Structure 1
Amino acid sequence: MQGKVQIKVRGYHLDIFQHVNNARYLEFLEEGRWAFFDEFNVGDDMLKQGIVWAVVNINIDFKAEAGFGDVLEVETQFSKLSNRSITMKQRILNASNNKLVVEADVTYVCFSKEHQAAIPLPEDYRQKIEQAIV
């Protein structure tokens, strides 16, 4: 399963060099993950159980610049599943020329708000994620 969301680059996304500031890519990637979780339909159920995904690691590879007016497409998918964590692979492409702008790996742990600690993934989520891993 792969989620996709598009973001249009606005003036406030740019740095002094007039291309997207590196910190903005973190926001674009996060937007992609939120959209993916909406499509995957697990976020609300987990929150009701007091379980959240906590980001513990992000690795970003910047491949090309993006500028004002570019439409960027954020692709998100699960890539790895462990006992207490998942890793997602994300890519940001320039929608006009399909050029790769950013690649990222983001690792989450399954976190219990009640216990204030990482916990094993509930079995029903584990099975759902296993089916979606590319």
Structure 2
Amino acid sequence: MPQRTPIKVRGYHLDLYGHVNNARYLEFLEEARWEMMESAGQLDWFMQERLALVVSRIDIRYKRPATMGDELVVETWLSEIGERHGVVAQRIVRADNDKLVAEADVTFAVIHPEQQGARPFTGAIAERLLPMLEEH
């Protein structure tokens, strides 16, 4: 089941047209990814190991605008694990009618500040990520 993160649209999220600015959606998606890691109980381990989950690609598709006062829900799940990357799938929907506002696929890697390149998704890293993998 996807992690569900509520977001209320505030005035500072809006552009000149009264719609949520496209860059704010990236912040909504990031907030939900942090929430997914926290609720899965994995964030502390990654931080203790000094492993960072870094975004390498974001493919976002905007479907309809959100405006002031809208209550949104960001649905987030781990949809793919590769050798050295993963993909988090996300949907932003209106809470009142479940209409799709935006959807995104976020590709990430795991890095360590003292090691070159992305870490392979094996061993302890795989043990933490594999239980989060969901099929949709």
Q: Runs of 4+ in structure 1 displaced over 6 angstroms? A: none
Count of matched residue pairs: 134
Which stretch of the first structure deviates more once superposed, 117-126 or 19-28? 117-126
Which residue is 2:11 aligned to?
11
Which residue is 1:77 aligned to?
77
**1:103-122 superposed matches below 5 A:** 103-122=103-122
- The Cα of 1:44 is off from its aligned counterpart by 1.4
- The Cα of 1:116 is off from its aligned counterpart by 4.0
Which residue is 2:93 aligned to?
93
Instruction: Please give the secondary structure, in 2, of the residue aligned with 1:118.
Output: coil
| 1:75-100 Cα deviation digits (max 9, x unpaired) | 10001001111100000000011100
Which stretch of the first structure deviates more once superposed, 103-112 or 119-128? 119-128
Task: Determine the C-alpha separation between the residues in 2 that align with 1:35 and 1:3.
Answer: 8
Instruction: Please give the secondary structure, in 1, of the residue aligned with 2:110.
Output: strand
Which residue is 1:123 aligned to?
123
Contact 2:9-2:69 within 8 A present in 1 as well? yes
Percent identity of equivalent pairs: 42
Which residue is 1:52 aligned to?
52
- The Cα of 1:122 is off from its aligned counterpart by 4.2
Contact 1:80-1:87 within 8 A present in 2 as well? yes
The structure whose residues are more often strand, as a share, is 1
Which residue is 2:37 aligned to?
37
Which residues of structure 1 form unaligned runs of 5+? Answer: none
Contact 1:74-1:91 within 8 A present in 2 as well? yes
Instruction: Provide TM-score, normalisation by structure 2.
Output: 0.93
